[in-house]
Amino acid sequence: MADDPFALFNAWFAEAKAAERNDPNAMALATATPEGVPSVRMVLLKGHGPQGFTFYTHADSRKGEELAANPNAALLFHWKALRRQVRIEGSVEEVSAAEADVYFATRSRDSQLGAWASDQSRPLDSRATFETRYAEMTDWFAGQDVTRPPRWAGFRVVPQQIEFWTDRAHRLHERRLFTKAGDGWTEGLLYP
C-alpha cells in the first residue's frame, strides 16, 4: 500500500500517456445543480498535483454556473488500454487570474479566438452565426496577442477521496480508496 495518492496518480498517468492513443488527459467531470440534478461531460486535465486537478472552461457555461452554485465535483479517468480508472471527489475552487492567463497563453490562436467567439452552452441558432463571430474575433485581434476572455477561467478539484480501480479477471477488480485525513491520507480497499 502506498501513502501518497498523488505519486500513484503520477505513475498511472505516465503509463496512460504512453498507452492511450487519444487524450490520456480526458476526464469525465460531474457537477450538480443546487437541487442535486447531475450533469456530466468530458473535459481535459491541464494540471495536477497535491493542490488538486485543474481544467479550464467558460465560467458562464453550464458547468461553470453549476460549480458557482454548488462547488463540488467528481472526476473520472478511464484508461481502457490499461484497464484502469481513477475516481476523484472533492470541492472546487477557481484558479487565480494569473494562473488562467498563463495557461490561456499556451493554447493555439484558433482555440483562443474560439473562446472569445463562443457563448459556451448557450443556444446557437446556426453554425454560421458562430463562424461569423469567430471571423469577427479574428479581425478584432489581428496583429496582436489574444488575451483571455474575462469569464474564461480555470477550476481546481481539491480531492477528498481518490479511488484507483484496476480490472481483474472474472470481475474480481481491485479498488484502492484514499481518503483525506487532516494533512495526510488514509488508504483502504473496497469490495469490487
| Enzyme catalytic residues | 171
Report the distance separating Cα 80 and Cα 82, nearest Å: 5
Three-state secondary structure along 4-19? CHHHHHHHHHHHHHHH
**End-to-end C-alpha distance for the chain, whole angstroms:** 17
Please tell me the distance from the alpha carbon of residue 67 to that of residue 123, in angstroms, as a whole number: 20
* CA–CA separation, 169 and 87 (whole Å): 20
Does residue 65 contact residue 83 with C-beta atoms inside 8 Å?
A: no
Distance set, CA 172 to CA 76, 86, 162 (Å): 20, 17, 20
* 83 Cβ contact list (under 8 Å, min separation 6): 166, 167
- Cell numbers 454560421 correspond to 128
Distance between CA atoms of 30 and 72, rounded to whole angstroms?
9
